[in-house]
Structure 1
Amino acid sequence: MARRLVQFGLWLLLATLSAGAFAQPRAWLDRERIHAGETVTLNIELVGSVGGRPDYGPLHADFQVTGSTSNSQVVPNRGGLSVRSLYAVSLAPKRSGRIDIPALQVAGQRTRPLQLEVVADAGGTPQGAGADVFIENEGDDLSPYVQQAVGWVVRLYAAVPLLSGKIDQPAPDGASLMRVGDDAQYSRDLGGRRYTVVERRFLLVPERSGALTVPPAVFEGRSAPGMIDQMMGGSGDEQRARTRPRTLEVQALPANAPQPWLPLRALSLRYRTAPQELRAGGAASLVIEARVDGAGAAQLPELQLPPIDGVQVFPEPVQADESFVDGRPRVVLTRKFSLVPARAGAVRLDGVRMDWWDVGAGQARSATLPPLNWNVLAGGAPSTAPGAAPRSSAPVADGVAADALATETGAGAGPAGGKLWAVAAFFFAALWLATLLWALHLRAHPAASPAASAAKAAQSAAPNSKLAKPSAALRELLDRGDFEQIAAALRAAATPPAADDDELVERLADPLQREAVQALRRARWGGGDGVAARALLRDAFARGPRWQAPETEPDSPLAPLYPPRRGA
């Protein structure tokens, strides 16, 4: 009876997890512009649905699909919990030019189409090409202004498989250096050799004018041993590479610079949604979007509306979508405002304006939105006419087209908000019920408690090693996770956690597990067989990691200073 209750409670919990809203799958490229001979990674994120890998068939017309990975995890959302799945596939373009990536089918839904630009001329061969391992760094602007965000990129090229390594780009004096996003990894042909490229992005922000020297970027690592070296017991060769110092000439603040100082490549504003009418006492939504080229979200002023006479304005937090395109940062800021009129009559929203400095043209510019006018109606709820634009008393300025005005549907807080609270209440009730049923089960079966299971596992372990049973999470990672996640999980499984992969290998007692970790390292750094490495990991860790017995200190010949406590 207790087991049936537990099964029912777990079923109810899983039903609650799947009760959240199914979001449209999100697709993006790690780079939107590449050179011929390079690969690009297409990422697809699916939230709220379980299973259903993407159909990569439509990609074969313009790309060679060279490898794919996937992983899933349970994440919190506004309705409780949901499953988040991330799929990544490496693509090698078959031609140059602009290539359309079609919408892909995944879990009964479709992604949005994307575009990739493939440049035929790679712009010269990097210095160091021909070596087994070399490194380069560059900025998108070598004569920036003070406080201008410079996109700084460090690329590691490796024509040999790497077991381990570390990329370091020290920050220069007189500037801040902040890493942006995850590393991008792709392949590139140089001089007849195939290189695996690891690209790391930074934001470099000069703090004063004058010459700014950026220290060399450095790589230190170890390559995988060849067949003969393996037979002789070799552990591979040490690999070191460094760039030359780079000097930037930082320009001072211009005399006619607008305040606040905002140096950018481009800036545009638009109304994403705007209400057609307002009613006294009712709430209506207004959404503003800012597209920025040349800065991160942290460097930009907050999107604000000017005061509206007779209308209360309630802003929501700013949503930022940051990316790194053409070697520099870009961001799309979106903010929603709720407008609540206090009385009927005419009201006016003055145009939103942002002043900025065009670093390319060297002159001040302004991005503006047209003012909006409404005649607030008495009482009731506001309505939004699909496809209709709000009334404006001035033309749209600075490249903001009139068709940028859009309407919003389904954004109200009435039925949707009630449904959201209902789902949340159902989730917590199911979670409470599952916890109660599990406690009843443990009470009826005390031998199955975690303490008893741990004691039984300890008794069955070998006397000269420590055997850790594999968790469901570890099994899931071995089957579907990427190699970086698997390595991190294995290091964390040690007690205390292993500092790096070398220490992980030393602390494993099983030779097959040590060899599996070495195969994992080779696959992570682009020179090993990923399929074979994953199969070896599954076999080696089927019963969990097997650790070396911890070293114990020898008994002291001296009597203890204090007698041992009773029961210790």
Structure 2
Amino acid sequence: MVKQWLCLLLVAASPVWALTELKVSLDKNPLLLGETAVLELVADDQVATQPDFSVLENDFIVQGPSLGQQMQIINGKASRTTSWRLLLRAKQSGTFIIPSFEIEGVSSSSIEVEVVEGTTQPQSAEDSQLFLQSSLDSTQLYVQQLAYLEVKIFFQGDLQRGSLSEPKVEGLSIEQLGKDKEGSELVNGERYRTFTRRYRLIPERSGTFVLPGSTLSGEMLDRDSGRYDYFAQTKAVSARANDLTIEVAAKPDNFPGDWLIADLVSLNEEWSPATDQLTQGEPVTRTITITALDVAEHQLPDLILDVPDGVKLYKEQPQAKQAERNGTLVSQKVFSMAVVANKAGELILPEVKLPWWNKKTKSIQYATLPEKRVSVKVNPELAQQATTPVVVPATQVSGTAAADTDPWQWNHTSSVLSLLWLSSVALLLWFRPTKTAPPKVTIQPSGVAKANPKKLQNACHSNDAPAARQWLMQWAEQQFGRSPASLSELANWCNDQAFTEQLQLLNQQLYQKEQQNWQGKTLWSCWSKLSMEKAAAPSALPELYPNQ
């Protein structure tokens, strides 16, 4: 009985916690555009439910929340709290409402925030613990010219955590290169720790672009809040890098071929086996490699090779790759092919020439492979097959005996046999039951899937340029027996002006990416017309293996 009374007394004496209040606060109001404010929501109890903060993302760039729970006992009275802290940066100027939040039926008040435009004074290196710098190796670019964007964070003290916004502008392709690098620098006599992040930037069209500076939002250790670092609290910090203005010029009108701008471009080739003498009918492997500096792998064009008479090329799918070397992006594209010479004698492989634009000298240059002369020796096995006489069976009459035989007897016998054969054929045709003609079977080249025109129609109507190119390459391989090196080579094969113009526009969309929206319906119409002409006249398309 005594124990029961003691339990009742302990229960009555224990505090009863329940959520009764939600408080919300903002450390800055009004707020400058580009400035970061701290929003804090505090509940007077420990709760497991988190409010929905996604409504803030309509008007603000939100980082967080960070959750904190605390229990205090003051003069024998205990209290518990749960808090959420978020960093907010307004997307534009104006007046916005931070709505009320609700937990377990308890709501906070709403806050009206005014965001005004203004230029925040640049933080000086002497009295700033944190600042950012953006730089570009060149702000005067051509379309498709690769440039290097660098964002560097300078800070003193202990940066506990941080989030750096990614640069993003429509019409500029920006992609991070490698990992962040940590270091230190002296700025006006002060030592700063640094984090550097590099990007490759490629303008997709000509014009003027303003690249907003990246923003860092994070927390730093506040040494003034505690005597020892263990007890010190963190404080919210933010900084914004400088904006960059970029002028992008269009491709020069006098540039021939597919547009390629780089710091350096080279061509080299390898033969396996390495020899200057080929054997008729035996394949050798020729590998040509394009190497370019300050070019992304997808920017490297295809090679168009002139093929002399008496030679066949069997090409493999080109392989492209890229890597960063000492701060420079190096890209390569490898073309491997089997070369088969069908004629003996001297063979001249024409010069290979690739035009490119030197971004330093602002002039056209050419990467070349010189003309190559090789000798093709006669293959004894092929020659023996061509000159091997027909072996006469032993049961046949010798040439002398045949000359002595009466020719009338042979003609009479052959005439009788021919009449009997014709009679049997006529009887078979007369008594053959009538059947529906079997469908025409089209024999596809080995290893080539049938190209369904419906896929091209869907790609053209949805303006999907990569899918349209992939289908055309498959169709060309099915039609001509081999895949063309590029859309330009396919245009030469088809020899149709309207179709050629559409292929050039498709090629421009894939590689040059100038300021225009590719519309594929015209390409579909031209291909359909070309296909119908081919069905009506088989000579509408060239023979297999053109230029060979």
Bin for the TM-score computed over the shorter chain: 0.3 to 0.5
| Structure 1 length-normalised TM | 0.40
| Structure 2 length-normalised TM | 0.42
Q: Which structure has the higher relative contact order (CA within 8 Å, separation 6+)?
A: 1
Task: Answer with 1 or 2: which has the greater Rg.
Answer: 2
